[in-house]
Structure 1
Amino acid sequence: MSYTNILLENNNNITTITINRPSKLNALNRDTISELHEAFKEASLDKHTKVIVLTGSGEKAFVAGADISEFANYNIEEGKMLAAKGQELLFNFIENLSTPVIAAVNGFALGGGLELAMACHFRVASDQAKMGLPEVSLGVIPGYGGTQRLPQLIGKGRAMELIMTAGMIDANTALNYGLVNHITTLEELLPFCEKIASKITRNSSVAISAAIRAINANFKDEVNGFHTEIQEFGNCFGTEDFAEGTTAFLEKRKADFPGN
């Protein structure tokens, strides 16, 4: 599939998705959200993709926010639909993807941009990155999962302060808060993410998918994460990857996982 607002590249079982609207600081509009959904779906169905890295084009922004001009005149119901559709189509879709997703935050990640990064399974930031949820300065609140994922990642008090002040934090603060896992220079950001992704590709993609489902279950209402873990753990015993992994261990050789 061809895309207008994003770029796709696959190397060594790693698909890099780049949001490519540098003149708009990679802001999210309807078309970009739709294209990202299709790109993530395409990558997740590609047998040659074991890890997805998401980043923004240029040096200034990962995603500087949503395209405000698209919804400035919305009414209450339209606002609800905007949030509901966006969460289902992209943000929740990424979070529940069975393929690991790393956000490579190269610059500003504000509003919907930070929400997009938080939907990824973990984040690496350049030392130039700035992050925040400034929605209340526009008379609205984060609507793409920001009020839910930010407290999960950095704690309720810090999330309350960051959202209420509409402020930004730098990469070092984000690292201290646990919002990002690592900081690198801008030049080393993608190579560093690719190095982590390469480590992931050596392991069982089936087991990693099961781990994602088990971890996410802990954050879902009325779902017992421990029960999900037990189910996913047991299911692993019926996979070809489990047979290969345990056999390779006993034979003292490197596992060659079939991905089944």
Structure 2
Amino acid sequence: MSRTVYVNGDYLPEEDAKISVFDRGFLFADGVYEVTSVLGGKLIDFEGHAVRLERSLAELDMGMPMTRDALLEIHRRLVAENRIEDGMVYLQVTRGAADRDFAYPPEGTAQTVVLFTQSKPGLADSPAARTGIRVATVPDLRWDRRDIKTVQLLYPSMGKMAAKAKGCDDAWMVEDGAITEGTSNNAYIVKDGVIVTRQLGPEILHGITRAAVLRFAREAQMKVEERAFTIEEAQAADEAFVTSATTFVTPVVEIDGVAVGKGAPGPVAQRLREIYLEESRKAGI
């Protein structure tokens, strides 16, 4: 059955959905996006994603195309019409369509707004959460404003493929000898009971799941340090894990061929995943 998608005010069968070949998201990657998970038919952390969307748009001199309430209604309608029990809602906003020019289009040019769903049955019961994932490191060659969630995802895609070519599941990116983040997630290590993750700044995406997990960790009396860490420090850690909106908390058991800890998911990552899923389900809307 065809999905219903949202394009610029219309709800359409996916095969009928179209945007202009002159859209700046297509020509210049001039746009931002958000991904909100759905568990049990409810949206997870919607408010956090909406706030970050507003920030990303503002950083690129773009306004919000609609109110948060209107955006929430679109999300809910797509979840209902596509019968999403577990999955995600993808949202993309671009600067709109205009004749190709590096200069921004005239003020008043309509933005392009697209949303679609993906059904992921059993999203919270991923095999990777039970076995852990293996990562390879790659140089971080992205632009310097990674805190803006833009659609410029070519290099992260290349990083994932480089990792897969090495027989790994994902890549962690390295800059000036320190881990920045994963290709589509934030990175963490655990040493002597202390959770370590890169501090916020333009070097990394300000993850919505990251914020929630760190809050839950502190509420559980776990110690957290927000600072950079090296590949060697990560390989010598007791545990490692990643967080993202669609993988939640996922253990990392190997980095560049070196087993982390016992080479199996550790208790801190496992407990944080339990807490995150429990609290997120309760707070879903």
TM-score, length basis structure 1: 0.27
Between Structure 1 and Structure 2, the one with more strand by share is 2
TM-score, length basis structure 2: 0.26
Between Structure 1 and Structure 2, the one with more helix by share is 1
